[in-house]
Amino acid sequence: MKKKGTTGKKRHVVAWINKTEWDQVLEYLYSNDTSLQKHALHRISAWKSRYADNTPVAVECTADLVRCQVLDRCGHLKGHELALLYGTAMIRFINLITEKHSLRL
Q: How confident is the model at residue 102 (pLDDT cuts 50, 70, 90)?
A: low
CB atoms within 10 A of CB 64: 19
- Cα distance between residue 63 and residue 49, in whole Å: 14
Q: What is the pTM of this model?
A: 0.74
Between residues 3 and 71, the one the model is more confident about: 71
Q: 15 Cβ partners below 8 Å, 6+ apart?
A: 46, 47, 48, 50, 51, 54, 55
> Is the pLDDT assigned to residue 4 strictly greater than 70?
no
pLDDT of residue 105: 57
pLDDT of residue 8: 67
List pLDDT tens digits, range 49-101: 887 778 888 888 899 999 999 998 888 788 899 899 999 999 988 887 787 66
Q: How far is CA 101 from CA 37, 53, 57, 60, 83, in A?
A: 29, 14, 11, 15, 27
